Structure 1
Amino acid sequence: MLWVNAMINGPEVPPISGNAPKQLCIILHGYGADGFNLIDLARIIGQEFPDMQFIAPNAPHPFEMGDEGHQWFSLYERSDESYYQGVLSAEKHLNEFLDYQLKRFNLAEENLIVMGFSQGCMTAVHTMLRREKACALVVGFSGRMLGSMDQIKSSLKSKPTICLIHGKEDEVVMFEYFNEAKSKLKDCGVECNHLAVDRLGHSIDYQGLKFAVKHIRQAI
């Protein structure tokens, strides 16, 4: 594949049907990980959607803690405004990637699912609310919604359905951010389906995946 402008890229799983893709699912990893960290979700979800193409791009920046990973934006300066400015930068990379992949597979936004974990969730929710056309669904695991209500509302361009899943025992992105995100989405008039998972930390479990699959099926 020809990548333009040093575009982000990562592992892919084609439709198990062997047909041309009818849907596209983009999976965004968390802080310090890479696309291979989550691409196995495609092998699980793909059993339910045989015509779905999956891509898990590596985030655009090397992991700032020095390991062999990637990050969507820096967490070095621990402030909400710094995080917001970071996700604004990540949005540009993700939008270029999404536009390219939709054109590559000749698919429309209504055929697009964007899924993210932790920092990938933050990037997915932020970006997809600011695209001109709504995608079919955003699925966010263990993340939060960055920006003040003024910042979010002033840049809101589309209202895709959003599915949020969060462990009640999350020790990395605290559970309170799950409730905050629900409240922000409600104030924006964005439909939000949500699941709080008992006895789950900063992770994705079968219950959360089952919930996600249910809403993907409804969306497409």
Structure 2
Amino acid sequence: MTKTLSGPMLPPRSAPAKHLMVMLHGYGSDGADLLPIGQHWSGNLPDFLFVAPNAPDVCAINPGGYEWFPLKTDRTLSRVEGAEHSRPIIVNFLIDLWAQTGLKPADTILLGFSQGAMMTLHVGLSLDEPLAGIVAFSGALIPPPGLVDGLTPKTPVAILDGDLDNVVDPNLSREAVETLTGLGYDVSYHRATRTAHGISEDMLDFALSFILAQSI
């Protein structure tokens, strides 16, 4: 049986929605954890529908939260295997959202934090059509099929991290920037100073400016 996603959403201030933001939470968390970002940005993005699905599996170490993939001893291998497992679930969720709302990939921002940021990059860079933009906070690039061969659309990407992050090495963000830039992607990058594993105010401001710059 194919797994489906569900979670909280925040309706647009001005209906009907003209844009969509799908937000993917971190390991052991849930969709409600990221919904305040939508509340924070809703004044600047009044025609956005914000959707924050819970990951498909209950978190192994926190039964009150969810995971996009389990953490194993070999983190690199678990990321690759886990991303491949969850990618079609997220893609199907996006396809259903577009069908239900009448919106399109070009109207959509895909945003994620930590493990959700890894999935955001992995999924967003695997689609047949470009999104309006991808925003990845404190994540890493797990290349989807076709990326290195230049077979995927060049969606604009914003990558953000904190210089004191001891959960996800910020050098993984830097590597993602270098890889995607080398492949011809338009990448905006911001490293927040004195910031651990989280989303600071200046990271939010940078991400919002990126979103507004995508003709939205």
Give the TM-score of the pair, scaled to structure 2.
Answer: 0.94
Structure 1 stretches of 5 or more lacking a match? Answer: none
Corresponding position of 2:109: 113
Query: 2:3–2:89: 8 Å Cα contact kept in structure 1?
Result: no
Equivalent position of 1:16 in the other structure: 13
State the AA in 1 paired with 2:97. Q
Deviation at 1:158, TM superposition (A): 1.6
Query: For residue 172 of structure 2, what is the aligned residue in structure 1?
Result: 177
Q: Partner of 1:42: helix, strand, or coil? A: helix
Shift of 1:114: 0.5
Q: Give the AA of the match of 2:128.
A: E
SS of the aligned residue for 1:24 comes to strand
Alignment of 1:114-193 (within 5 A): 114-147=110-143, 152-154=147-149, 156-193=151-188
CA contact (8 A) 1:80 1:147 kept: no
**Could you tell me how far 1:178 is from its partner in structure 2?**
1.5
Question: For 1:166, what is the secondary structure of its paired residue?
Answer: strand
Cα displacement string for residues 150-191 of structure 1 (whole angstroms, at most 9, x for unaligned residues): 974148422100001100000100111121111111122111
Of the structure 1 ranges 89-98 and 72-81, higher mean CA displacement relative to structure 2 is found in: 72-81
| Runs of at least 4 residues off by over 4 Å | none
One-letter identity of the residue aligned with 2:135:
V
Q: Which amino acid aligns with 1:202?
A: H
* Distance across 1 between alignment mates of 2:146 and 2:155: 18
Deviation at 1:67, TM superposition (A): 2.7
SS at match of 1:153: coil
User: How large is the RMSD of aligned CA atoms in angstroms?
Assistant: 1.8
The alpha-carbon distance between structure 1 residues 131 and 43, as it changes in their structure 2 partners (threshold 3 A), is same
Looking at structure 2, the residues matched to 174 and 151 of structure 1 have their Cα atoms a distance apart, in angstroms, of: 25
Q: What is residue 72 of structure 1 aligned with on the other side?
A: 68
Q: Which runs of 5+ in 2 are unaligned?
A: none
1:28 aligns with 2:24: yes
- State the Cα deviation string for residues 68-94 of structure 1 (Å, max 9, x = none): 110001112424123111101111110
The answer as to whether partners of 2:24 and 2:31 remain within 8 angstroms in 1 is: yes
Tell me if the contact between 1:25 and 1:115 (Cα under 8 Å) persists in the aligned partners: yes
Cα pair distance change 1:177/1:6, threshold 3 Å: closer
Identity of aligned residues (%): 30
Conserved? CA contact 2:126–2:146, under 8 Å: no
* Compared CA separation, residues 184 and 38, structure 1 to 2 (3 A): same
2:90 pairs with 1:94: yes
Corresponding residue SS for 2:168? coil
DSSP 3-state at the match of 2:189? strand
Mapped contact 2:150–2:183 kept (Cα < 8 A): no
TM-score, structure 1 as length reference = 0.93
- In structure 2, what is the Cα distance between the partners aligned to 1:164 and 1:86? 21
